[in-house]
């Protein structure tokens, strides 16, 4: 299912920003920004992806202006990313046919 692939992509690509254990600010990394922009272009129709993109932009602006630390932004982003992944999983579940739906269709056809 296409939404399942998108959920996996969101989970993997919007990877934890501090996976290496050291704090890294990816906000101004040209390569990361280019990859992010490509993903946004490809998945702009996914509401959860739009939300996390807007939040990432907001957090990067706050980091760049000194309002919050990189560490705080990472924690906030990871929490939001986790929440959006869960929302997407729930939406996928609601769209998947149940066993009863499948049984009904097999009786019709």
CA geometry: angle 78, 76, 5, nearest 5 deg: 30
pLDDT at residue 68 in the model: 94
Domain ranges across the chain: 2-92
CA distance linking residue 7 with residue 87, whole number of Å: 10
Q: Is the pTM for the entire model greater than 0.85?
A: no
Confidence band for 36, pLDDT divided at 50, 70 and 90: confident
pLDDT digits (tens, 9 = 90+) for 50-91: 899 999 999 999 999 999 999 999 999 999 989 988 988 888
- b/e for 25-35, b at 16 or more Cβ within 10 A? bbbeeeeeeee
pLDDT at residue 47 in the model: 87
């Amino acid at each position: 299912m296409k939404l399942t692939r998108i959920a996996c992509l969101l989970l993997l690509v919007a990877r934890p920003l501090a996976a290496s254990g050291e704090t890294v600010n990816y906000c101004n990394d040209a390569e990361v920004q280019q990859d992010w922009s490509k993903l946004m272009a490809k998945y702009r129709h996914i509401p959860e992806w739009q939300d996390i993109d807007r939040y990432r932009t907001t957090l990067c602006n706050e980091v760049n202006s000194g309002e919050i630390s990189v560490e705080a932004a990472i924690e906030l982003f990871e929490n939001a990313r986790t929440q959006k992944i869960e929302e997407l999983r729930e939406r996928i579940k609601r769209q998947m046919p149940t066993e009863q739906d499948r049984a009904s269709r097999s009786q019709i056809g």
